[in-house]
Amino acid sequence: MKVLQRGLGAFGALVVLVLAIVAGYYVYKEVFMQPSEPPSCKAALNQCIATCRRTTSEAPATQACQESCERDADACERKR
């Protein structure tokens, strides 16, 4: 006996509901949880160095990138 199912059914509706909740959480997090002040100089330096490590593969390029990060951090400290 063949049963023709129309629509999502209970399991499909549950999957769609979970996906909607997860998407809503990330939208809420991005829109409403923005930091009210810019990151500290130390946090900006850490982020910059982490970016250097991810994006450069050669040692001289990594070192140059990290030196640039340190110069930016020094300039940030002087501004504060």
pLDDT digits (tens, 9 = 90+) for 13-44: 899 999 999 999 999 888 887 666 777 899 99
Q: What percent of the chain has pLDDT over 70?
A: 90
Is 5's pLDDT higher than 80? no
Interaxial angle between packed helices 41-55 and 59-79, expressed in degrees from 0 to 180 and rounded to the nearest 10: 170
Q: What is the pTM of this model?
A: 0.53
Do the beta carbons of residue 69 and residue 52 sit within 8 Å?
yes
List the domain boundaries for the chain. Answer: 41-79
